[in-house]
Amino acid sequence: MNFKTLPMEERKRIALVAHDNKKSDLLEWVKFNKGRLIDHEIYATGTTGKLIEEQLGIPINRLETGPLGGDQQLGAKISLGEIEFMVFFWDPLEPMPHDPDVKALLRIAVVWNIPIACNRASADFMFSSHLMREKYDRRLPDYDTYKNRVISTGPAEE
């Protein structure tokens, strides 16, 4: 398989997402990291974005709330290269009616090889990395071959 690199600049485009039971944890993390978060472009799903804006005054690119399509909007932005890092505090103990959307979002983040922090410890380790403050070439499979493949639809009609 061929690979290519996608450059990430010093200013990262970061998605912040949290399930209801994890919103307070994410807000504490955001408050602690406010000084460094303002150096990046922040995206968030509806309710989480609103809480961050209200409490911290940080400008947020707000999408729909997760169950109403926000998770899918984030996935689309990841696949378009518009989001390069995700902090997603999800609740593994609470059943979610939009669980397929959550799984799809996590899957697309892995497909496009973006860093994903799913809890406070991973967010702390990743966000404190020197790579958050410098350019980074993200390596991923070259999906052009897959996208340009010829698909046989059966014998041609005469």
Catalytic residue numbers read 71
The whole-angstrom separation of Cα 43 and Cα 13 is: 7
**Residue for token digits 């939009």?**
98
Least Cα distance to 15 among 88, 76, 73 occurs for 88
Q: Do 140 and 112 touch, CB atoms closer than 8 A? A: yes
Task: State the DSSP code for 80.
Answer: T
Q: Where are the alpha helices (DSSP H) in the chain?
A: 23-32, 34-37, 46-56, 70-79, 99-111, 120-127, 144-147
**Beta strands at 41-44 and 61-62: parallel, antiparallel or unpaired:** parallel
